Structures are given as C-alpha cells and as structure tokens.
C-alpha cells in the first residue's frame, strides 16, 4: 500500500478512536505518570519548551502542563480530532499550549523548537522510519535536552498473542501478525543511539489490567491501536479465529472481575549532549 494511503488510513483510525479513546487508555495514563516521575529522579532544571509527540486526547499533555508550570508546550498529533480533544481537555492552560496537526515523521519542526524536553508516550512504535524520526527529534532538542519515551514491549498482550498462535497452529493455518509488531529494548536503544542521543536511563513496566470479558478486552485494544496487526486471512476466517480466541481467553485468563491482560511498556530517557562522558559520570 502506498505511503500516503496508509497514512490516511491511520489518521482515519485515530480520528475514530478519539471518540472512545479515554474509556480504553488506562495503560497509557499509568505509564504517563511513571514517565514523568522518572524525570524527577534525575534532578534537572525544568525545560522551557516541551514537545508532546502523539498527544492523543491530551492526558500526557495535561500532566506535562501541571508538572512544568512555566513551560511552553507544543502538542502534536497526526489526527486532527485527537488534537481537538487535547484542546478541550487542557482548558485553563491553553495560553501555554500550542497545538499542531501533523505527522512527526515529516512535519516541519524547526519553527517550533528547540525543545528542552520531547515526550513520546506510546507513539514511537507507530513510526515507519524510527531512525530517521529520532534523528529529526534529536535535531530539534537543545544541547542537554532530553527525550522521554514509552513504547510497547514484546510482552504486550502476550496472553492474546499466544492464543492466536495456538489456534492457527491447531487449525493448520499460517502464523499471522494479529498484534502490533514490537522491537526489544536493545533494538530501540540502538536506534536512539544511532540517532545521536545518549542513554541516561531505561526501564520496563508490566501492568495487569482487567476487563469485563474477552470481547471488551479486544474492543479496548482495537480502540487504542494495539490490535493493529496485519492478517491476510479472509474475513470469514478472521471472524472464526477471533471467536475461538475469545472463547479460549475467557477460560484461560479469567479473574475475579472478568479477564486479565498483561501490558508491557519499554521506557527510555535519552539526552542530547556534546560530551557523552559527562552522562556516564552523571549515572
Ligand atoms: C496511543 S496514542 C498516544 C497517547 C498519548 N501520548 C497519551 O499519553 O495519552 C498514539 C497517538 O499517536 C498519534 N500518532 C501516531 N502516529 C503519529 C505520527 N506519525 N505523528 C504524530 N502523531 C502520531 C495517534 O494519532 C495517537 O493519537
């Protein structure tokens, strides 16, 4: 599929998701708090200008505005309805917020920065060209500026991925990609380093979330984009597989309030520095 068409499909999907996003984005809200708490551990003068990449409905943007009451914040998202939702959520702090509708992989950032902090909560796994995009972000960081990111990890929705595999194997079907493809922590670190940034810290979070039943879990991950794998099975077969996976999920991963699922996030704090040895001393 050509790039523009794929991009438009993604924009449409996120625009639709913006309407129900807040009902399903519990894991992003939790990881957003953990990301900002991690910054505190590294004591550091507050940034004056901050870029929130993939701001979604503005949960992270709001936390950033609260955590840095003097900073100007630029919230950017590829989906216009997400940006609109951010404006509505932020309300009183609107005067310190600039919003931009655009694809971080090709929008011109030069007039907006340079930034002391760039935050990417649950968005980098969407980058088509992560190395190039990290390079663009690094170019728009001040020296000493930081990039703080959370990215789906390989264990995200692991129970579900395993059941898809089980059903396909038993039914003699080729193994397909049903969930969002992920990279390891090491691979992301290599990309960030190749983009010219220096690691300060990295850590991982696993969360257990509970849903009323298998179907509501699947609806949730579809709404927030985690079920955005690629499958070539015909529609009728996809439906059969899905029903079987839900049936097995409800048996295998039952808990008091319905079913549980594991969410896994890799988190990174990187810095743009002229002198990498300083970072080693700081650690
Ligand atoms: C999972 S949501 C992020 C949520 C948000 N950061 C938060 O903390 O609540 C991912 C967001 O990234 C946006 N997005 C995906 N690819 C993008 C790109 N290339 N440029 C800008 N935004 C993008 C989507 O529209 C969506 O709103």
CA end-to-end distance (rounded Å), the chain: 45
Q: Could you identify the atom of ligand 1 that is nearest to the CA of residue 120? A: 6
Residue 1 has a CB neighbour count (10 Å cut-off) of 7
CA of 76 to the centre of ligand 1 (A): 8
Residue 55 has pLDDT above 60, yes or no: yes
Residue 278 has pLDDT above 60, yes or no: no
Three-state SS at 133? helix
CA of 222 to the centre of ligand 1 (A): 14
Cβ atoms of residues 157 and 179 within 8 Å = yes
Question: What's the token pair of residue 165?
Answer: 């595999």
| Nearest CA owner, ligand 1 atom 19 | 103
Which residue spans within 153-273 are E strands per DSSP?
198-211, 254-255, 258-271
121-174 pLDDT tens trace: 999 998 999 999 999 999 999 999 999 999 999 999 999 999 999 999 999 998
Three-state SS at 263? strand
Residue 228 has pLDDT above 70, yes or no: no
| Nearest CA owner, ligand 1 atom 18 | 103
| Nearest CA owner, ligand 1 atom 11 | 54
- Residue that is written with structure tokens 């951010």 in the block: 86
How many CA atoms lie within 13 Å of 280's alpha carbon, on the beta-carbon side? 3
Residue 112 CB contacts under 8 Å (≥ 6 apart), including other chains: 51, 74, 98, 100, 140
CA of 55 to the centre of ligand 1 (A): 6
Ordered by where they begin, the domains of the chain are 3-156+180-208+264-282 (3.40.50.150)
- Residue from 80, 126, 156, 205 whose mutation best tests the ligand 1 pocket (most atoms within 8 A of CB): 126
């Amino acid at each position: 599929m050509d790039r523009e068409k794929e991009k438009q499909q993604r924009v449409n999907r996120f625009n639709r998701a913006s309407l129900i996003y807040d009902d399903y984005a519990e894991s992003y809200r939790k990881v957003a708090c953990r990301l900002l708490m991690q910054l505190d551990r590294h004591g550091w003068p507050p940034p004056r200008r901050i870029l929130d990449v993939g701001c979604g409905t503005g949960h992270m943007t709001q936390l950033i505005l609260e955590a840095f009451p003097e900073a100007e914040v630029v919230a950017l998202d590829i989906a216009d309805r997400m940006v609109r939702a951010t404006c509505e959520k932020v309300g009183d702090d609107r005067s310190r917020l600039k919003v931009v509708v655009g694809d971080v992989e090709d929008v011109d950032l030069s007039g907006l920065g340079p930034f002391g902090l760039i935050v990417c909560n649950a968005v980098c796994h969407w980058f088509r060209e992560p190395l190039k995009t990290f390079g663009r972000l690094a170019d728009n960081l001040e020296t000493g500026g930081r990039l703080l990111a959370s990215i789906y990890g390989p264990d995200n929705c692991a129970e579900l991925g395993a059941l898809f595999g089980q059903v396909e194997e038993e039914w003699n079907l080729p193994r397909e990609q049903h969930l969002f493809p992920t990279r390891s922590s090491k691979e992301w670190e290599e990309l960030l380093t190749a983009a010219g940034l220096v690691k300060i810290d990295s850590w991982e979070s696993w969360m257990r979330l509970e849903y009323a039943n298998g179907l509501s879990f699947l609806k949730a991950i579809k709404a927030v984009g985690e079920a955005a794998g690629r499958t070539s099975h015909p529609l009728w077969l996809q439906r059969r597989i899905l029903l079987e996976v839900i049936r097995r999920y409800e048996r295998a991963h039952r808990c008091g309030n319905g079913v549980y699922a594991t969410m896994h996030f890799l988190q990174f704090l990187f810095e743009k520095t002229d002198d990498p040895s300083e970072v080693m001393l700081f650690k």
